[in-house]
Structure 1
Amino acid sequence: MEELQIEFPVFIDSPMQKFDEEHAENIIRFFYPNIAGQVILFPLINKEMTKREYKMLLPRVAKAYLIHNLTPDRSEFRACEPKALIDTYSQLYASNAD
């Protein structure tokens, strides 16, 4: 794949929503690392990005944040260690699990 050299951050909302497992892996392995120097993803954890997919991406993750809902109309960014992102999310929202 030809490398794209975009010199500004690329923001991607719902990054894996429409991909099957094979395509998601290809996007993680080949597209995200080459699209720009900085890529910011906004996935719904466990829906648009699984733990397996995140582990593939983890070696390239510099920082991780969760959008933590404080009330129905107020939220905040919460920094967390990249390797603890999924577990931190699970701890914060365990009571909201289906």
Structure 2
Amino acid sequence: MISMRIKPEEVDYIAALSRLFLSEQEKNIYARHLSEILEHAERLSELDTDGVEPTAHVLPLRNIFRDDKVKPSLERDILLSNAPEVENGCFKVPRIVE
């Protein structure tokens, strides 16, 4: 098994890409944690998976969605009665994109 040690400098590089500011102590902690995660993932490659069918989910789930049923919705006037501002029969909200 190859040791997958992450250095604090690599954590610093990843943090910079993520726009995170970490103290030296945090860099050392995250380097240790990431190394442990990679070492655990490497141990998984030692498992014998011959004859194991690939799965998308651990449970044998099928379509678990409910059936669509048409039913009446609330009337527009009732919905808009609570709106602070209405324009052309719709909610009017502040512009957020210039």
Settle same-fold status: TM greater than 0.5: no
Judging by fraction of residues, say which structure has more strand: 1
Using the size of structure 1 for normalisation, the TM-score is 0.22
Higher relative contact order (CA 8 A, sep 6+): 1
